[in-house]
Amino acid sequence: MVTVIPIISVVIGILLGAVISFISFQYKERKSCRERLNKSLFNLLSVWASIVVNSTIHSDLLKDALVNALKRKFPNERMPDNFTDELAKGLRGMFPVVDQHELYNKYHASVESLAEIDPLLAFQLSNNKFLIDYLKTLHEFSLKEESDEKSGVFLDSFSSFAYKESMLEFEKDLLKLSRLLGKKQECEVKERIANKKKKMTKITDADMDEYVSQVFDPAIKKIVGSTNVA
């Protein structure tokens, strides 16, 4: 009996050690999984937000708001017939989206990381073909020294016929991803998406007037100054 007790103690110790190791391993795995989900969600949300801003830049909403602001700023000036079209071409430079060349890489890396956790969701994200083509074209366009007319037409088209369907699909996938992190995160992401979309669908006159003043006033002062010197 004396020899049995130490053996039982050893067996119990081994079993407890195995259980503790298993629990520790599972905890580390869940923590690592959650960290990767958080990173993927952050990157994909930043991609989504940049696309929303970029699409607004190419929309008639911003173009018309800017034209109206210029008319308020210079009521006595007559604008050329092709002014609106020329303005539309220059909007990308006037309202740049920061690091837009990185959006495709962010999207691709996030999907690759997500494939190890939720392959079905990763597959859905990788099948949003028009969105991925848009990100690729945006990436290539932003790296070119000179604008490419075909790329510009494609980028503009994304704001029209394919934008809603692709973005709605993307937003549904974002909510599925946030759901993996918990109900609270899902609600927060849903609210952020709604608020951002609401903000991008309305441009106030005050905001555009301020922007026009910031852009044109320094330019006018510079022109006047150079004229006086001459």
Give the span between the Cα atoms of 65 and 42, in whole angstroms. 31
Give the span between the Cα atoms of 178 and 18, in whole angstroms. 33
Give the span between the Cα atoms of 216 and 221, in whole angstroms. 9
Give the span between the Cα atoms of 152 and 157, in whole angstroms. 9
The CA–CA distances, whole Å, from 45 to 61, 134, 214, 226 equal 23, 16, 30, 46
What H or E segment, with its residue span, contains residue 55?
A: helix 4-57
Full pLDDT tens readout for the chain, 230 residues: 445 556 776 667 666 666 666 565 455 556 668 888 999 999 999 999 888 877 777 777 777 777 788 888 878 777 777 776 666 666 655 555 556 668 888 999 999 999 988 999 999 999 998 888 888 877 776 665 555 555 555 555 555 556 678 889 999 999 999 999 999 999 999 999 998 888 777 777 787 788 778 776 776 565 545 544 44
Q: Residues 26-65, buried b or exposed e (16+ Cβ, 10 A)?
A: eeeeeeeeeeebeebbebbbbbbebbbbbbbbbbeebbeb
8 A C-beta contact, residue 192 and residue 88 = no
Q: What is the pTM of this model?
A: 0.68
Q: How far apart are the first and last CA of the chain?
A: 112
Q: Cβ contacts of residue 197 below 8 Å, gap of 6+?
A: 52
8 A C-beta contact, residue 42 and residue 192 = no
Ordered by start, the domain boundaries in the chain are 4-229
For CA atoms 121, 123, 127, 131, give the dihedral sign. Answer: positive
8 A C-beta contact, residue 169 and residue 24 = no
